[in-house]
Each structure stands twice: as C-alpha cells, then as structure tokens.
C-alpha cells in the first residue's frame, strides 16, 4: 500500500538534485558545499567536495543541481574546471601543485554556468536505466548573462537556423 498526497511543482523540484534536468547549460549559484571523504572501494578516505547549486533562470529556475568534485591526483577534472570557471585557477596554482580551497565560504554565493550532458560510459554500462540517469554535470564555464538555460536541442536547432532571433 502507498500513501497518496498532492504535491506542488515547487516540492517536486526540491528533491530533483538535478537528476531530472535535461542536457543543457544552466546559470547557477552555489548554495551548499560539504567537505567529505570518498567511500569508494578504490579511493577510500580521499577528500572530496559535494556541491549544490540553484538554477537561477529559465524553465528550471529554482531547481537544484548537485555534483561531487574529487580532490586527489588523477581525479581533479571537476575541481579544476570549476576553479577555471570561477577565475580562481591561477590563484590555486601559485605554489607547487594545486591548492584546492576547501572552505565552503569560498564557493557559496559564487555564480557559474553548469553544463549537463550525456555520460556515454554510464549509458553503455547501464543501458536499461532511465535515460535521465545518464545525464550528469559534464563541465563548467564562467557566468555569462543571456547564455543560460539552453538545452542541447535548443542549441542544435539554433545552430541549424531553426530558432528565430
């Protein structure tokens, strides 16, 4: 037996964690950062940062996107991409190696563009899963007004001349 309740659109969006958002580019502000340790079998105890950001505009405004940035050698792609998008990469590489800021205050309130896209490896590994589960955070870029919240289909149609200015 199940419990049936009516749910508002806002409540439905609150639990998405970005999983229901389509491929596209999203204007986001980072709202939460949680330092944690990896629980994976291959990298137990290694440091990582868990991020939550709120989408700022478009049809998915007020939705959240979540991602994890590994902070160890060989797995720095996410954090390096974020630091570059936040124009902090040069500061983080002043000394030897990469000094990754781990204080939540460094990130909270910062705005950046978050790109969601298809992870082909996940799709190949789990072809029977819901296709929405194959879409994940794939990259970051500096915030640019007016560039936000275009889905992959919208960008392809615009490139083909399919959307009027």
Render each residue's pLDDT in the chain as its tens digit; 165 residues. 444 444 445 444 433 444 579 999 999 999 999 999 999 999 999 999 999 999 999 999 999 999 999 999 999 999 999 999 999 999 999 988 899 999 999 999 999 999 999 999 989 999 898 888 899 999 999 998 876 565 544 545 444 444 444
Structural domain includes residue 162: no
The answer to whether the beta carbons of residues 113 and 142 sit under 8 Å apart is yes
Report d(CA 105, CA 107) in Å as an integer.
5
Q: What is the pTM of this model?
A: 0.78
Give the residue among 127, 153, 137 at the shortest CA–CA distance from 85: 137
The answer to whether the beta carbons of residues 91 and 62 sit under 8 Å apart is no
Structural domain includes residue 86: yes
Domain span at residue 82 reads 10-143
8, with CB counted inside 10 A (0-12, 13-18, 19+), is exposed
Structural domain includes residue 98: yes
Structural domain includes residue 14: yes
Which neighbouring-strand residues pair with 111?
29
Q: Which helix (H) or strand (E) holds 17?
A: none
Structural domain includes residue 29: yes
Structural domain includes residue 164: no
Map tokens 């205050």 to a residue.
105
Beta strands 24-37 and 111-118, pairing class = antiparallel
Query: What three-state secondary structure class fits 137?
Result: strand
Structural domain includes residue 153: no
Structural domain includes residue 161: no
Tokens of 137: 């955070």
Report d(CA 149, CA 152) in Å as an integer.
10
Q: How many independent structural domains does the chain possess?
A: 1
């Amino acid at each position: 037996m199940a419990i049936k309740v009516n749910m508002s659109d806002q409540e439905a969006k609150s639990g998405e964690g970005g999983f229901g958002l389509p491929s596209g580019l999203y204007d986001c502000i980072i709202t939460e950062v949680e330092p944690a340790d990896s629980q994976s079998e291959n990298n137990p105890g290694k440091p990582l940062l868990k991020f939550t950001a709120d989408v700022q505009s478009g049809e998915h405004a007020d939705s959240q996107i979540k991602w994890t940035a590994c902070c160890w050698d060989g797995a720095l792609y996410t954090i390096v991409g974020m630091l570059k998008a936040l124009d902090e990469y040069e500061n983080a590489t002043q000394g030897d190696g990469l000094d990754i800021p781990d204080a939540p205050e460094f990130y909270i309130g910062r705005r950046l563009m978050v790109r969601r896209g298809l992870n082909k490896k996940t799709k190949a590994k789990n072809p029977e899963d819901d296709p929405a589960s194959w879409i994940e955070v794939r990259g970051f870029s500096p915030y640019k007004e007016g560039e936000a919240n275009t889905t992959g289909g919208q960008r392809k149609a615009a490139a083909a001349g399919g959307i009027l200015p």
